[in-house]
C-alpha cells in the first residue's frame, strides 16, 4: 500500500483496549444478511488463522487485546463489536434482532459484569458497535436493518453522549460499521450511497472533509476498519481506499479476513473497543 505523503493526523496514535473472541466455532449455518450463504463451505481453521493475524497485528501496534471465551453454538460470537457498547466505563448490552444471535448478548454482558462493570440491559434492539460508532463528541447510530431507531435515545441516556441517527438503505451494508468508520475523534470515512438522502446530507454537514469510499472498496468491507488515529487496519482488497487514507496522512494496513467475510464480517466486526474512564 502507498506510504503517507503528508504528515500524520494531528491527533495521532492513541493506544486502545479491545475485546476479541476467537472464531473457534465459526461457521455459516444460517442467513441473516446478504453475505451469508450456508450452502457454501467454510474453513474454521483458516478463519482462526486470519483472526489470529488480526489480533497479533493489533497487539504489535501497541494495543491491549482481551479475550472472551467462544461458546459452542454461537458461530457469530467472533464478531465482538456487536456484543456491547462501552463509553467511559459504561456498558450498554446488546439486544440482537435475530434469534440465532440472541445468546451472544448475555455472554458478553457476563464478561463485563465479571470484571466489575455495571451493565445496562437494553430495552430496545441494538447490535452494539455494529450500529453505534463513537467519536470524540457524539455517537453515530445506525438503523434500518438491525438496531431500532427507538434504541438511539436509550444509548444517549445510558452512555452520556449525544446520538446522531443515520438511516441505512442498502441491505449489503446492514450495520453502520460496514458503511462508515471513525478515523479520529472528528474525522470519518464512509460510503454515501449506503445511506438515505437525509442521512447523506447530515453526514456532509457534520463531516465536510470526510474520506469517501467507492462501491468497489465498500463491497470488500474496506470501511469495516479499525483506526487508532494513525494506523487504519482494513481489508487488503480495499486498495483505492487505502491510497486515499495514505494521502490524508494515515498508515493503512491491509488484512485478509476473507473467511469471516462469508458471514459479513471484517476487522471492525472482530473488535469491541473497551473505553474506560
**β-strands 84-87, 90-93 pairing:** antiparallel
Residue in 152, 175, 231, 270 annotated catalytic = 175
Can you count the helices (H) and strands (E) in the chain?
7, 15
- Catalytic: which of 21, 63, 152, 269? 269
Closest CA to 252 of 264, 270, 238: 238
φ, ψ of residue 133 in degrees (nearest 5)? -110, 125
Whose cell is 449455518? That residue is 29
3 state SS for 119-132: EECCCCCECHHHCE
| Residue 63 is among the residues annotated as catalytic for this protein | no
- Rounded Cα gap, residues 14 and 35, in angstroms: 33
Q: Contact, 190 vs 217, CB < 8 A?
A: no
Check: CB of residue 259 under 8 Å from CB of residue 241: no
Q: Is 25 a catalytic residue?
A: no
* Distance separating alpha carbons of residues 90 and 277, to the nearest angstrom: 9
Which residues are known to be catalytic? 175, 269
Amino acid at each position: 500500500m502507498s506510504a503517507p505523503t503528508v504528515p500524520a493526523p494531528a491527533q495521532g496514535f492513541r493506544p486502545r483496549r479491545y475485546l476479541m473472541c476467537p472464531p473457534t466455532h465459526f461457521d455459516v449455518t444460517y442467513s441473516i444478511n446478504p453475505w451469508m450463504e450456508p450452502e457454501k463451505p467454510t474453513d474454521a481453521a483458516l478463519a482462526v488463522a486470519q483472526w489470529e493475524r488480526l489480533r497479533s497485528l493489533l497487539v504489535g501496534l501497541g494495543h491491549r487485546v482481551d479475550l472472551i471465551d467462544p461458546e459452542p453454538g454461537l458461530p457469530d460470537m467472533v464478531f465482538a463489536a456487536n456484543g456491547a457498547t462501552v463509553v467511559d466505563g459504561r456498558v450498554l448490552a446488546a439486544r440482537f434482532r435475530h434469534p440465532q444471535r440472541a445468546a451472544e448478548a448475555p455472554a458478553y454482558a457476563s464478561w463485563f459484569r465479571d470484571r466489575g462493570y455495571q451493565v445496562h440491559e437494553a430495552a430496545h434492539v441494538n447490535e452494539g458497535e455494529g450500529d453505534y460508532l463513537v467519536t470524540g463528541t457524539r455517537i453515530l447510530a445506525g438503523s434500518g436493518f438491525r438496531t431500532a431507531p427507538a434504541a438511539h435515545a436509550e444509548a444517549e441516556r445510558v452512555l452520556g453522549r449525544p446520538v446522531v441517527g443515520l438511516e441505512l438503505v442498502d441491505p449489503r451494508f446492514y450495520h453502520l460499521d460496514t458503511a462508515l468508520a471513525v478515523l479520529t475523534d472528528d474525522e470519518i470515512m464512509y460510503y454515501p450511497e449506503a445511506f438515505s438522502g437525509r442521512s447523506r446530507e447530515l453526514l456532509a454537514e457534520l463531516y465536510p472533509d470526510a474520506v469517501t469510499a467507492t462501491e468497489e472498496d465498500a463491497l470488500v468491507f474496506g470501511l469495516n476498519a479499525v483506526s487508532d488515529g494513525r494506523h487504519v487496519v482494513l481489508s487488503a482488497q480495499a486498495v483505492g481506499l487505502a491510497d486515499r487514507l495514505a494521502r490524508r496522512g494515515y498508515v493503512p494496513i491491509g488484512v485478509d479476513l476473507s473467511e469471516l467475510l462469508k458471514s459479513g464480517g471484517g476487522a471492525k466486526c472482530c473488535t469491541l473497543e473497551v473505553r474506560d474512564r
